[in-house]
Amino acid sequence: MNVKTRFPPSPTGFLHIGSLRTALYNYFFAKKHGGTFLVRIEDTDRERYVEGAVESLIRTLDRMKIDYDEGPIFVNGMLNEKGNNGPYVQSQRLDIYKKFAHQLVYSGNAYYCFCSKDRLEKLRAQQQEIKQTTKYDRQCLSLTKDEIQKLLASGEQNVIRMKIPEGKTTFHDEIRGDVTIDNQEIDDQVLLKADGFPTYHLAVVVDDHLMGVTHIIRGEEWISSVPKHIMLYKWFGFPLPIFAHLPLILNPDKSKLSKRQGDVAVEDYLAKGFLVEVLVNFVSLLGFNPTADREIYTREELIGSFDLKKINKSGAVFDVNKLLWMNGQYIKMLSEEELVARVKPFLKREVSNDILRRICTVEKTRMNLLLDITSIVELYLSQPAYEKEILIWKKSNKEDAIEQLKNIYQFIKSIDENIFNDIQLIEQALTLYIKDNDLQNGNVLWPLRAALSGLERSPSPFELIWVLKKQEVMNRIEHALKILS
Ligand code: GLU
């Protein structure tokens, strides 16, 4: 079978973490089977349409390196597309849906409805009051052909509704197994709205068929729509695709992942300096785990091991702390050059390549986010502010701190510039100095490190000296002495 998957976002905002997972799984599945992956914009709900959302969705997919074979693309800021099954934006396919909706009216599977919004609202309220399922009461189904013709001719506002038959609908889901729903629970779904736009249900079925989609992998929230879709497939004579509905992504309190409990937009995570490969790795594991013996996987490994059969049935908790941990792990694995390139876009001020490289070398293990670089560089580029207490080692006192800093100042002043280009040489020189003068590490290294960083915890004094270089090291010791006296 020639596999074809799809990712059809609605342009209602940013790419959501859950949608990222859906996009990735469709992408993995297609890649794994040597198939095709398409992106389609489902913009038929004009009330929920957000200006700029299409561009942002496409840009985020691009930043996440999720490439697709067919779909909308931006060329020089203009919406364009690739592939032979377009248009890939539903608002550009209205004639197609209209034709299919009318076909169902002719075959008796759908009917015109002229009910006003007002009437439908009242009906709904009545049903709610007596605790009935809210459903259209089929008033317009009793209209005669003549009445319908007259209403249409007079330009009366109308929609086209599905005529849900009696009985039960069963379908197979790759993750859930067989699912049966009593048709009684299904409303006579509007297929074509008064504004000439289709609803999601008509458009999705028509497009998935016309675009040759073989596998529909999407969020669980759509599973209750499948029976309607199955009916449409049957009425149109389309072969059924394979369905797989993914479990929910949950907040730590097990509620559905929502903005109220943290960021849900992929862009927000990118802006904070989460790496693309971390988001791919982490989000992919919210639903399946290739081998269950580790948590770090490359994209290739994820593609190679992706299997619908391995997807969990129960919801997966989105744990931001774990994501942060994973980001730190990945940052540690980056080469210095790579880290320099990645942090550069996050800098808020000019930093020379040499200094940035040194900073990245000594700070790599302490960084969890690329964005951390903005505060980290400040430490090196400007004299940090701190309280004098921090300069005093817990087993010593102020007088000793002053004496040690005075002496180390002279020592640093005396050593050759070249030594400052090598962390190991710096360490050797200082270790020797401590030994030769019969001193304790803590008495010397604590006030020195604190004078250079102004922090309780920081890279070692040797690393700090290497980054700051001779003159700045001396300046900072002088500053510390001023504070102490
Ligand atoms: N446009 C729908 C959405 O935004 C797509 C649902 C589907 O994959 O069928 O989620």
- Considering 122, 168, 259, 332, which one is annotated as catalytic? 259
pLDDT of the residue at 172 = 98
CATH topology for the 334-381 domain: Helicase, Ruva Protein; domain 3 (1.10.8)
| CA-12 nearest atom, ligand 1 | 4
Block residue for tokens 């920081």: 458
pLDDT of the residue at 292 = 81
Closest CA to 367 of 403, 410, 419, 331: 331
SS3 track for 268-315: HHHHHCCCHHHHHHHHHCCCCCCCCCCCCCCHHHHHHHCCHHHCCCCC
Residue extents of the structural domains in the chain: 4-90+249-317, 93-246, 334-381, 388-484
Is pLDDT of 261 > 90? no
Report the distance separating Cα 359 and Cα 364, nearest Å: 8
Is pLDDT of 224 > 90? yes
Report the distance separating Cα 343 and Cα 241, nearest Å: 44
CATH code, residues 388-484: 1.10.10.350
Number of CB atoms found within 10 A of residue 459's CB: 24
Closest CA to 322 of 270, 274, 372, 356: 274
Q: Which residues contact 312 (CB under 8 A, 6 or more apart)?
A: 247, 287, 288
pLDDT averaged over every residue in the chain:
96
pLDDT of the residue at 253 = 86
Where does ligand 1 bind, in terms of residues with CB under 6 Å? 8-10, 42, 204, 218, 222
Supply the residue whose CA is at minimum distance from atom 3 of ligand 1: 9
pLDDT of the residue at 429 = 97
CATH code, residues 4-90+249-317: 3.40.50.620
Burial (0-12, 13-18, 19+ Cβ within 10 Å), 404: buried
- Ligand 1 centre to CA of 127 (Å) is 29
pLDDT of the residue at 320 = 93
- Ligand 1 centre to CA of 434 (Å) is 67
| CA-19 nearest atom, ligand 1 | 10
In tens, the pLDDT along 55-90 reads 999 999 999 999 999 999 999 989 999 999 999 999
| CA-218 nearest atom, ligand 1 | 8
pLDDT of the residue at 52 = 92
pLDDT of the residue at 255 = 86
Please give the CATH superfamily to which domain 93-246 belongs: HUPs (3.40.50.620)
Is pLDDT of 357 > 90? yes
- Ligand 1 centre to CA of 364 (Å) is 40
Q: Do domains 93-246 and 388-484 have the same CATH topology?
A: no
pLDDT of the residue at 263 = 81
pLDDT of the residue at 258 = 76
Catalytic residue status for 65:
no
